[in-house]
A = this chain, B = another copy of it.
Amino acid sequence: MSLERKIWSEQFTEWFSEMLLKAEIADFRYPLKGCGVWMPYGFKLRKHILDIMRRLLDETGHQEVLFPLLIPEDLLAKEAVHIKSFFEECFWVTRGGSTEFDVKYALRPTSETAITPMVKLWVRSHADLPLKLYQVVSVFRYETKATRPLIRVREVTTFKEAHTFHRSYEDAARQVEEGVEIYKKFFDEICVPYLISQRPEWDKFAGAVYTYAFDTISPDGRSLQIGTVHHLGTNFTKAFDFTYETREGKREYPHSTSYGISERVVAAVMMVHGDDRGLVLPPNIAPIQVIVIPIPYKGVEEVVNEEAKKIVEELKAASIRAEADLREDVTPGSKYYDWEIKGVPIRVEVGPRDVERKEITLVRRDTLERTVIPRDKLVDGVKELMEKLQNDLRERAWKWLREHVHRTDSIEEARKLIDNRQGVVEVMWCGEEECGFRIEEGISGRVLGMPIDTKEEPKGNCIVCGKPAKQVIRIARAF
């Protein structure tokens, strides 16, 4: 059982901004809209999340690299669809000191056009393929709409973009599947549930053959895109005239893919588990996994403080991220409050009685349930509880997500569900763009696309035109 989430869903937006700052994740009071600061605690959370991503990519033969931020306009313009989509979203560097440039430079909105011409210099023959690269960088979008911390920003500070190059369309398609598998593992590890959909033609990445996207559902019933995987075909390699020598000595264009996540994954972690008291962080990514709080009674302050320090040492020796809160002029109650905001998964309370009885009191953040274990079972007890908490968070979040995916054959009903913030709705569709647009108008929402995670055959008729359905599609109010 999780705590009541009464702030869900009316006050979700307010809760989110407030918690960002109160939990010291990020400070968006920087004097440029849509740009924020990762504070020390938030930076650590981000780091643990990125560590998981890096491990998953390294294990599957991806190599980390770092490409320049500035992309000359003529490079960015090589792929026609791409530049058309991104031009208005770019920040442009036009001057160095007081010198006006002849060619202006974009702050990378994504790196296909920076990476492809360089990889062209590295790849000679089929033996150099596949090549799987990734980088973690800032990308920039000149958002004119309202910005939102971590969710709709101008400097995306945590863009993990993978770029891969292959001998054939099929190899690249297999890579798309691998990308999807990596993201599934990643989101499972950080306990964020997801839907995977193939975006409709009109909403795929500019320059892609097709785009798969991961969406989660926010506490106020909106969909939040948290990852995308693109098959780019030869669109970019052709644009840069990038060929390789095949086994047979012919020259062919490599097929490429790209896939990315951003700090939206941190936002997702916050929103899918948080409650009225603050954040609830999965133990494997929590900056502090265990907070130890002494309960001092007059005359035994020394004893409980010493015990608190000893407990921290033992936990640290077992590679558990533990800290003691030994502040002197703060009551235990205030300390509980502070660390509950920060989402520390486990609290250890150390009172004189615990010391006497050689016991440890553990309190889990998600349910506030207390467990008393023998003092000499400290490390095992904590590890066990962390694992349980981790699994419970994941299951609870998945259950919630599943409860917020609906099926209907009435566009009225779909609109009502979406207006009432009930999540994602699946409907039948004939596959015609015209009907797709009519659905989006009808619900004032967005077509997320065709389910990739369920292999269900469409049944019945298009919700708009009544013709036989060709696809199940998901619709939602999107962030």
A374 interfacial by beta-carbon distance below 8 Å: no
Contact B96 A92 (CB under 8 A): yes
Residues of B within 8 A of A88 (CB): 97-98
Contact A35 B70 (CB under 8 A): yes
A439 interfacial by beta-carbon distance below 8 Å: no
How far, in Å, is A31 (CB) from chain B's closest CB?
Answer: 6
Q: What per-residue 1/0 map shows which CB atoms of A251-290 lie under 8 Å from chain B?
A: 0000000000000000000000000000000000000000
B-contacting 9-mer, from A6-14, A58-66, A305-313, A401-409: A58-66
Given A40-B63, A97-B142, verify A155-B32 contact (CB < 8 Å): no
Residues of B within 8 A of A87 (CB): 97-98
Given A31-B117, A65-B40, verify A155-B70 contact (CB < 8 Å): yes
A133 interfacial by beta-carbon distance below 8 Å: yes
Contact A68 B35 (CB under 8 A): yes
A465 interfacial by beta-carbon distance below 8 Å: no
Categorize the interface residue count of chain A: 35 or more
How far, in Å, is A110 (CB) from chain B's closest CB?
Answer: 16
Q: What per-residue 1/0 map shows which CB atoms of A38-77 lie under 8 Å from chain B?
A: 1110011011000000000000000111111110100100
Give chain A interface residues in 108-148, CB to chain B under 8 Å.
Answer: 114, 117-118, 121-122, 133, 138, 140, 142, 144
How far, in Å, is A358 (CB) from chain B's closest CB?
Answer: 34
Residues of B within 8 A of A345 (CB): none
Contact B66 A37 (CB under 8 A): yes
How far, in Å, is A345 (CB) from chain B's closest CB?
Answer: 21
A157 interfacial by beta-carbon distance below 8 Å: yes
The chain B residue with its CB closest to the CB of A89 is: B97
Contact B96 A37 (CB under 8 A): no
- Pick from B32, B43, B122: contact of A65, CB under 8 Å: B43
Contact A118 B29 (CB under 8 A): yes
Give chain A interface residues in 95-109, CB to chain B under 8 Å.
Answer: 95-99, 104-105, 107
Q: How far is the CA of A63 from the CA of B24 in the complex (A)?
A: 13
Q: How far is the CA of A276 from the CA of B199 in the complex (A)?
A: 54
A338 interfacial by beta-carbon distance below 8 Å: no
Q: How far is the CA of A65 from the CA of B45 in the complex (A)?
A: 11
A27 interfacial by beta-carbon distance below 8 Å: yes
Q: How far is the CA of A37 from the CA of B97 in the complex (A)?
A: 24
Residues of B within 8 A of A122 (CB): 27, 39
Given A68-B32, A70-B155, verify A93-B96 contact (CB < 8 Å): no
A430 interfacial by beta-carbon distance below 8 Å: no
A386 interfacial by beta-carbon distance below 8 Å: no
How far, in Å, is A225 (CB) from chain B's closest CB?
Answer: 22
Contact B93 A92 (CB under 8 A): yes
Given A87-B97, A97-B90, A142-B96, verify A118-B68 contact (CB < 8 Å): no
For the A-B complex with A32-B105, A35-B68, A35-B69 known, give 13 more contacts whose Cβ atoms are closer than 8 Å: A29-B121, A30-B68, A37-B65, A37-B68, A37-B118, A38-B66, A43-B65, A43-B66, A69-B155, A91-B95, A92-B96, A95-B104, A97-B144
A-B pairs, 6 with minimum CB distance: A96-B142, A88-B97, A40-B63, A35-B68, A38-B66, A92-B95
20 A-B pairs within 8 Å (CB atoms) are namely: A27-B122, A31-B117, A32-B68, A32-B72, A37-B66, A37-B67, A37-B68, A38-B66, A39-B122, A40-B65, A43-B64, A43-B65, A46-B66, A66-B157, A68-B155, A87-B97, A91-B96, A91-B105, A94-B95, A96-B144
